[in-house]
């Protein structure tokens, strides 16, 4: 496949947010309507092929890519958020990081039982966040029909944390 414009725009920021991490900065993609459109169109094809009923965006950059998909495809949009941000009744999932833990939450009515759910984020790193999102969705009796990422950091082995799931990524490092 031809190289995506987005790939040429994503920039490496060394030592952010901690020494030793090379942060993939996606802001230049958002500044290029052509690149942004290209990414959304490709993810859209994948969502359509999975027969999704609802799109879930992972906070916070998952919202940026998930919302245009949901609007274009006329699908409901739901959120996973970091702990303490959601106002209504919610369920919570804690997961491990390299050091310490993180917690994400979802409203109890974000997913209806039996819905096919497509989960979107900007980037798959270790897969911990995506796996926690899948757990929340499954606790609400939804089925995860696919994951879509603009970027996958293959060397971090995120897919190992998401066994059995269908994962689509556009740009791999």
The C-alpha angle 74, 45, 25, rounded to 5 degrees, equals 95
Of 24, 44, 90, 116, which one interacts with ligand AMP (CB under 6 A)?
24
- Does 128 engage in binding with ligand AMP (CB under 6 A)? yes
Query: Which of 6, 29, 125, 133 lies at the binding interface for ligand AMP (CB under 6 A)?
Result: 125
Q: Would you give the distance in Å from CA 26 to the centre of its chain?
A: 14
β-bridge partners, 115: none
Q: If we measure between CA atoms, which residue out of 106, 108, 24 comes closest to residue 58? A: 106
Q: Is 135 in the site for ligand AMP (CB under 6 A)?
A: no
Q: Which of 61, 116, 139, 159 is catalytic?
A: 61
- Residue choice 68, 142, 148, 158 for contact with ligand AMP (CB under 6 A): 158
Binding mask 34-63 for ligand AMP (x = CB under 6 A): ------------------------x--x--
Stretch that binds ligand AMP, among 16-24, 30-38, 82-90, 139-147 (CB under 6 A): 16-24
Q: Which residue lies nearer to ligand AMP by CB, 86 or 125?
A: 125
Residues 168 and 148: beta-carbon distance below 8 Å: yes
Token match 């991490």: residue?
A: 21
DSSP structure class, residue 20: T
- Indicate whether 21 belongs to the interface with ligand AMP (CB under 6 A): yes
The total of other beta-carbon atoms located within 10 Å of residue 67's CB is 16
d(CA 121, CA 63): 7
Which stretches of 31-106 are DSSP H helices? Answer: 33-50, 61-73
Per the annotation, the verdict on 59 as an active-site residue is no
Q: Which residues bind ligand AMP (CB under 6 A)?
A: 21-24, 58, 61, 121-130, 158
Catalytic residues: 61, 98
């Amino acid at each position: 496949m031809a190289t995506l414009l987005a790939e040429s725009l994503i920039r490496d920021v060394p030592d952010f947010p901690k020494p030793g991490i090379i942060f993939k900065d996606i802001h230049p993609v958002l500044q290029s309507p052509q690149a942004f459109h290209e990414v959304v169109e490709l993810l859209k094809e994948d969502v359509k092929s999975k027969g999704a009923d609802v799109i879930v965006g992972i906070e916070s950059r998952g919202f940026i890519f998930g919302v245009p998909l949901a609007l274009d495809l006329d699908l409901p949009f739901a959120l996973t958020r970091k702990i303490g941000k959601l106002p209504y009744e919610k369920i919570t999932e804690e997961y491990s990081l390299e050091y310490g833990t993180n917690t994400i939450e979802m409203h109890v009515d974000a997913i209806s039982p039996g819905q096919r759910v497509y989960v979107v984020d900007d980037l798959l790193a270790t897969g911990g966040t995506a796996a926690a999102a899948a757990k929340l969705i499954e606790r609400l009796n939804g089925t995860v029909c696919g994951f879509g990422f603009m970027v996958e950091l293959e060397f971090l082995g995120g897919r190992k944390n998401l066994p059995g799931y269908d994962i689509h990524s556009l740009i791999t490092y």
